[in-house]
Structure 1
């Protein structure tokens, strides 16, 4: 499938160059409309049927399951954030002294603090796999180091599909095979990939996949999704809310307290998961994301950025090799001669929005972007190098 520029689906001013979806995606017009309709609906709560606490959530889970290639939608939980999902996972893992939990260098804090707390609790070890100090083939060398680090002491590998700053791709298929050899869990943060990069649970078989919903899935801030595999079928949720218990849809019987949770991932849903406003917005967003397909989004992003990447490399910027990075999100290291303060001011003056993350300037694009957006960024960089 091929897709073309679709800025008409968004309400972005013509003078704005937004290359920052990895931070926060703009809403579709359809998502905005759905949110407003839901706000209006709340003004007359007596018209909201009790089924709205459940049926739209089921529809949402089915959409996300379709996106990540999961047959049983009940393995999907709607959550508030990545940190909520990771904390749920960590709560259901017991370690032995000497066990190791493997993380990548400079992972997002939500995928660090819970693991630090868990390893400290059990006198286990946190093993951080550093990014190689290379100008090229960083991704390949990094993957090799990860695979080498997984051994008989490994209890958990927790990582992204790509690195959230550089865009370096991790070979999850090989990593999963190695974790299975050593009976280690594989916990994936798909926040910066799912929706824009193909991901199949059926193929990769992670134990958990957790995604923020407000980036490449175009939902509102404060929503997320989690897939939980069989290891977590009998786990303990973070909270005891009324909807994660068996038969909670029978509202008159709610005080007939249930000892059993709903099956599969349903026990891990956050309280108030039936949020009328959020769920309606999320449904509209996922419908569009699925219709594009991640494969087509990745192809489009590569096409509009390929010339800019060449120009940026010619200017002395370091960018991961094309075959070892994503194309919807990639980081570049600026030449030492560039004054960061001056560059940031130039970007602001030109209404160009990107992220500065660690050593990288992170560029992230989507179907509302065109090649002209990247040209504008390149010309802005040239202006502070003259």
Structure 2
């Protein structure tokens, strides 16, 4: 189903094809690592939680790290000057490893809006240029580009799909030499509809446009490689598919922008800031790489250990294997939803981890409450019920979801 109530018409890809396309099928060795991951998450047995795209369930390991961080913070006399930097650099490297970057390209930000603000300040948008965005996209980027285009006399072009058209096809149609910035996600946040970033990146570079990617609904659960995509900026939050806490987000900055202008001036990103005794020897020089774009108070003694624990777990599970496992799970849910006469987004047109199920308005308005009555939790975004599982979800969860859907959507 597309935005505006238009349903997709492409055939449904096989479950195996979807798995191979998005990271390979889950083999027997993988199953030993990924099966029965429920115990890693703080989700009670009677809860079927399918809303990771809104807020991730908490890993027990993240909670343990948070408790230990609070204990350390309760003893400020035990915190050394080196501790202001150690966790920051560990986290920077861990995130870089998830997207194919080294630590030099990663800045720590508090929210997508902050990352978009950095991007808007440094893409050198000019009067008359166009900024391409998607219809019904998440608001943070839209508001940023509205302000940026107003400031210089540029304009926003909002991409909408025609009947049977993919997002990728619709985006490529509008990319010409008038476009200065292409600002797109990997999947649409409302229903998981897939955007082929490889094709979009190739065209953006061909016309000389800057590429800004919102990875909030894909990084950590879909393979992502900045070396292949060559984006100017990539921003993502940490509390969804990266399984971490609020207030810790990430910004990848292309090498061509790392001498750019940050949106705030704070002391800790300056060259020599490790020497606390000389902080009043004010310096104009920044620390190397993308560190100049870090938010002030980036250290966050209470939160960074939680974010580190989350990213370490993702590295252990391995993103391609997570993607393949969730691709199989969403394929099963889609098949069951189809048996109920519902309209799930076809496998060939969605990410591995999110399933949009189009619902008529008469059902849509009450579906979330009806599911919650059955201890089953998902969300409605746009015209779709958005089902967003993770490795905590079990066959029993799927049965609970299907039963609740059957009761709430009579044929």
Q: How does the TM-score come out when normalised to structure 1? A: 0.95
Partners of 1:148 and 1:342 lie apart in 2 by 37
Match of residue 146, structure 2, among 107, 116, 119: 116
Partners of 1:132 and 1:6 lie apart in 2 by 40
- Shift in Å at residue 244 of structure 1? 1.1
Is the Cα–Cα contact under 8 Å of residues 305 and 371 in structure 1 kept in the other structure?
no
Is the Cα–Cα contact under 8 Å of residues 237 and 268 in structure 1 kept in the other structure?
yes
The SS at the match of 2:82 is: helix
Match of residue 75, structure 1, among 95, 99, 105: 105
The within-5 A match list for 1:1-386 is 1-2=30-31, 3-70=34-101, 72-134=102-164, 138=165, 141-335=166-360, 339-386=363-410
The SS at the match of 2:188 is: coil
Partners of 1:268 and 1:384 lie apart in 2 by 48
- Residues 344 and 275 (structure 1 numbering): CA distance in 2 closer, same or farther, change over 3 Å? closer
- Residues 75 and 345 (structure 1 numbering): CA distance in 2 closer, same or farther, change over 3 Å? closer
Partners of 1:92 and 1:335 lie apart in 2 by 42
Partners of 2:136 and 2:39 lie apart in 1 by 36
Gaps of 5+ in 1: none
Q: How does the TM-score come out when normalised to structure 2? A: 0.89
Deviations along 1:212-256, one digit per CA (max 9) or x if unpaired, are: 000111110111011100231221111111111111111111000
The SS at the match of 1:102 is: strand
Q: How many residues align?
A: 379
Deviations along 1:282-311, one digit per CA (max 9) or x if unpaired, are: 111000011111111111112223232112
The SS at the match of 1:194 is: coil
Partners of 1:112 and 1:47 lie apart in 2 by 44
Partners of 1:263 and 1:29 lie apart in 2 by 35
- Shift in Å at residue 335 of structure 1? 4.5
Partners of 1:320 and 1:238 lie apart in 2 by 39
Partner residue, 2:23: none
Is the Cα–Cα contact under 8 Å of residues 194 and 351 in structure 2 kept in the other structure?
yes
Is the Cα–Cα contact under 8 Å of residues 364 and 383 in structure 2 kept in the other structure?
no
Please give the root-mean-square deviation of Cα atoms over the aligned residues, in Å: 1.4
The SS at the match of 2:303 is: helix
- Shift in Å at residue 317 of structure 1? 2.3
Is the Cα–Cα contact under 8 Å of residues 123 and 210 in structure 2 kept in the other structure?
no
Gaps of 5+ in 2: 1-29
